[in-house]
Amino acid sequence: MKLVEPKSMDECVYFTNRTIGEKLTGSVRCWVFREKCPKCKKGMMGKPVENGKIKIRATEYVCPECNYSEDKKTYEEKLTANIDYVCPKCNYHGQLQIPFKRKVIMGVKTLRFNCEKCNETIDITKKMKEIKKKGKNMIEDDFDDE
């Protein structure tokens, strides 16, 4: 499946491009397109604009054409995340679409999916957040199996 890439960030509700994995050998690019207004079907839903500026921490999305508003949580759960990734474990390059539903995993909002080839769990966390490892007493190094 070939994903449609955004031409501009104005088309997206969410976009990220980052390296992943303990040794940073994988990469993920994820974007979520804005949806048309469910009421008038003309405008693209977006965060409200106040005094010419977009309200950053808005709790709702608004249609600029008809002023229909929808709660942030219910609107974002209807969206689809487009993901282009390179698995950090097997280096498989894949593309997939999943529902844009973030789950709280170890205290961090995360978009989670599995590699299509090796089934490795891959997480896209909120910006600048890391999932904390529990019970790690030893430092893990690279040891080749002989």
Torsion of CA 68, 71, 73, 74, to 10 degrees: -60
Q: CB–CB of 107/95 below 8 Å?
A: no
146 pLDDT exceeds 50? no
Give the whole-angstrom CA distance, residue 27 versus residue 71.
31
The pLDDT, as a whole number, for residue 82 is 95
Choice among 37-46, 102-111, 129-138 with the minimum mean pLDDT: 129-138
For 45, counting Cβ atoms within 10 Å of its Cβ (0-12 exposed, 13-18 middle, 19+ buried), the class is buried
pLDDT tens digit sequence for 112-143: 999 999 999 998 887 666 666 665 443 344 33
16 vs 127, residue with greater confidence: 16
With 0.75 as the threshold, say if the pTM is over it: yes
